[in-house]
Amino acid sequence: MYSIQNILWKFSNKYAYAKAQQNVHVSIGAISDAKGETLTEAIHIANRLNEHFKSVFVDDSINDQLPVFERRHNQEDLGDVIISFEATLAYLNGLNPNKSIGVDNISPKVHKKCAAQMTYPLTLIYNKALSEGLTPLAWKQSHVTPLFKKGSRLDAANYRPVSITSVPCKVMEKIIKEQITKYLEKTSCISNNQHGFMSKKGCTSNLLESIDYIAKALSKRNFVDIAFLDFAKAFDKVSHRRLIHKLKAYGNVGKWIESFLTSRKQRTVLGNHFSDWTDVLSGVPQGSVLGPTLFIIYINELTDNLKSVHKIYADDTKLLQEIRPEFHDADCLILQNDLNIVSEWSKEWLMELNVASVKSRDIKLWGKLYTTYVRPHLEFAVPVWCPYLKSDIKEIEKIQHKATKIPHDITSLPYAERCRRLNLTSLETRRRRGDLIQQFKLENGFEIINWHNPPLRRSPSNVLTRDFTYNNARHNFFTNRIVNDWNYLPLSCKKAPSINAFKSRIDKYFFPTAANSASFTEDELHV
């Protein structure tokens, strides 16, 4: 028979035993402090990381009015959670002996080998804790291991905190999680669109459902707008007050979880170096058993009032909206309204949407997509068919007018400002520029056209003259409409040594600022 003493004293020193069982070894050679100076000593690095992890917490201690939270229709209470001896024994026997040790320095191997002896006292402690809604203080302490994500290794923001808690607490969490999960599945409380940490669902089911919707829309020759939502430090920013407010609707287990979440402390560990202890003001512990389940409960009603299709994996949320050409504006408005709903929900429940990082990428990407795949179709052989009627000019400009409204953060801006943000000029301005480039190619032999009546020149400075015409078609033909713009150019532009040099010179002289208001006619500004 094994005993705790037998296992511990297999090593000559109990501290050497604890160290040998610690299997998370993180080495960080340097990191920048808040002032940008580089820290190299392990203890200073640990404290710097701990300060950063603390900085993302949300302090929800102010007694403001909590948001309204309505229970699901016909939702039953979870009821009292009672932990049996059999459940405790089963989970102790199922422990992985190679997992990390917690703050108490007792390895999972000890609990597994001594499961028979530990089952009875632990079960009594578990049920006592549940009935009184209390958690032992030692179970609220955690050692944090910083895991690198991506980016610069000197930036503390690029590390994710993973909490390592005591084994007895993890066993209790597993038993409670099992009962909560069964309850959630039985009552269908969790949205069907949540694929993270849910039985019979996962990343594959999330993507298959998304692609199914997209493929059907494309088969109908429509397209799909997708908004990928990014919550900043989602797991760390869960408000304890607001989460507990929601859990009270589920039954008595909320009392114990309230104790489990409040008055927590953590410190960052690097090898044998420990940071100072700090209070955990918000969040569900990353690395804990209950953390993911509590998180999906917290964000569960986020999508309740959305009209667009939505798929969620933990905190990763995407909204999908089929855009039908005949209902373009209405369909786009559905997605925009849903984004507004998500934004308001995030403010109300203190979850920060990472809007700033999405904005610049979205505008840049959309501008590139538009200029690569859409605008070339509007400008193919444009010197041949360049419109001259105001009604035709407006109709063509409307295409770009609508396209610049798609990035949601500039939708409400005036057309000229939207174009400025996307680094676009009006289509009419581009057609005038295209005519000048075409004329330069002809003047310098880059292209040859056998005109029926070659254009006349009055001087060596390449000044053109108009034909005398009797109809609009000839009056607005390329050789006539180019005259004013070409003659307006200085000789330095006309004598450019190459096509690219000519483009550069006319952009500086004739189109000095991309898409500024001077590049738009009064009609274009009111498309």
State yes or no: pLDDT of 13 exceeds 70. Answer: no
Mean pLDDT of 13-27: 50
- Cβ atoms 382, 434 nearer than 8 A: yes
- Is the overall model pTM greater than 0.75, yes or no? no
DSSP SS3 for 244: helix
Tell me, what DSSP letter sits at residue 353?
Answer: B
Q: Given pLDDT bands bounded at 50, 70 and 90, which one contains residue 175?
A: very high
Mean pLDDT of 186-191: 85
Q: Of all helices (H) and strands (E), which one includes residue 354?
A: none
Q: Given pLDDT bands bounded at 50, 70 and 90, which one contains residue 271?
A: confident
pLDDT in tens, 209-265: 999 999 999 999 998 999 999 888 889 999 999 998 888 876 666 788 889 998 999
Q: Report the chain's mean pLDDT, rounded to a whole number.
A: 85
Interatomic CA distance for residues 407 and 515, integer angstroms: 17
Residues contacting residue 41 through CB under 8 Å, at least 6 positions apart: none
Cβ atoms < 10 Å from Cβ of 359? 14
Interatomic CA distance for residues 483 and 464, integer angstroms: 6
Locate the DSSP E strands across 254-308. 264-270, 273-274, 278-280
Interatomic CA distance for residues 208 and 214, integer angstroms: 10
Place of tokens 């993973």: 162
- Cβ atoms 520, 416 nearer than 8 A: yes
pLDDT confidence of residue 516: 42
Interatomic CA distance for residues 429 and 414, integer angstroms: 17
Distances (CA, A) of 26 to 18, 148, 176, 265, 270: 17, 9, 31, 21, 6
Interatomic CA distance for residues 194 and 311, integer angstroms: 6
pLDDT in tens, 335-379: 999 999 999 999 999 998 876 555 555 688 888 989 999 999 999
How many alpha carbons fall within 13 Å on the CB side of residue 347?
6
Mean pLDDT of 124-138: 92
Interatomic CA distance for residues 230 and 319, integer angstroms: 12
How many alpha carbons fall within 13 Å on the CB side of residue 324?
7
State yes or no: pLDDT of 142 exceeds 90. Answer: yes
Least Cα distance to 107 among 6, 213, 20, 12 occurs for: 20
Bridge partners of 227, per DSSP, are 319
State yes or no: pLDDT of 165 exceeds 60. Answer: yes
State yes or no: pLDDT of 398 exceeds 90. Answer: yes
DSSP SS3 for 316: strand
Interatomic CA distance for residues 476 and 472, integer angstroms: 6
- Residue 52: both structure tokens together: 């950063």
Mean pLDDT of 257-282: 92
State yes or no: pLDDT of 525 exceeds 80. Answer: no
Q: pLDDT over 70 for what percent of the chain?
A: 86
State yes or no: pLDDT of 436 exceeds 50. Answer: yes
Mean pLDDT of 2-27: 48
Q: Higher pLDDT residue, 470 or 62? A: 470
Query: Looking at 211-215, 283-287, 321-325, 393-397, which range is the least confident one?
Result: 283-287
Mean pLDDT of 465-488: 88
| Long-range contacts of 151-159, Cβ-Cβ distance < 8 Å, separation of 24 or more | 153/28, 153/30, 153/31, 154/30, 154/31, 154/32, 154/38, 155/31, 155/32, 156/31, 156/32, 156/48, 156/49, 156/51, 156/52, 157/52, 159/49, 159/52
> What is the chain's Cα-based Rg?
33
- Residue 192: both structure tokens together: 């069907």
DSSP SS3 for 163: strand
- Residue 178: both structure tokens together: 């099992």
pLDDT confidence of residue 456: 61
Place of tokens 């403001």: 64
pLDDT confidence of residue 517: 38
pLDDT in tens, 46-65: 999 999 999 999 888 776 78
| Long-range contacts of 372-378, Cβ-Cβ distance < 8 Å, separation of 24 or more | 374/399, 374/403, 375/400, 375/427, 378/427
pLDDT in tens, 479-491: 999 999 999 899 8
Tell me the torsion sign for CA atoms 287, 288, 292, 294. Answer: negative
State yes or no: pLDDT of 16 exceeds 60. Answer: no
Least Cα distance to 42 among 27, 20, 57, 60 occurs for: 27
**Angle between helical axes of 390-403 and 427-443 (0-180°, round to 10):** 110
State yes or no: pLDDT of 466 exceeds 90. Answer: no
pLDDT confidence of residue 374: 93
pLDDT confidence of residue 522: 42
State yes or no: pLDDT of 430 exceeds 90. Answer: yes
Q: pLDDT over 90 for what percent of the chain?
A: 56
Locate the DSSP E strands across 271-331. 273-274, 278-280, 309-313, 316-323
Phi, psi of 21 (to 5 degrees): -85, -10
pLDDT confidence of residue 135: 92
pLDDT in tens, 295-350: 999 999 898 899 999 999 998 999 999 999 899 889 999 999 999 999 999 999 99
Of 5-14, 38-47, 68-77, the range with the highest mean pLDDT is 38-47
Mean pLDDT of 74-91: 83
368-389 as b/e: b if 16+ CB within 10 A: eebeeeeeeeeeeebbeebbee
Locate the DSSP E strands across 98-216. 141-148, 159-164
Query: Looking at 204-208, 303-307, 518-522, which range is the least confident one?
Result: 518-522
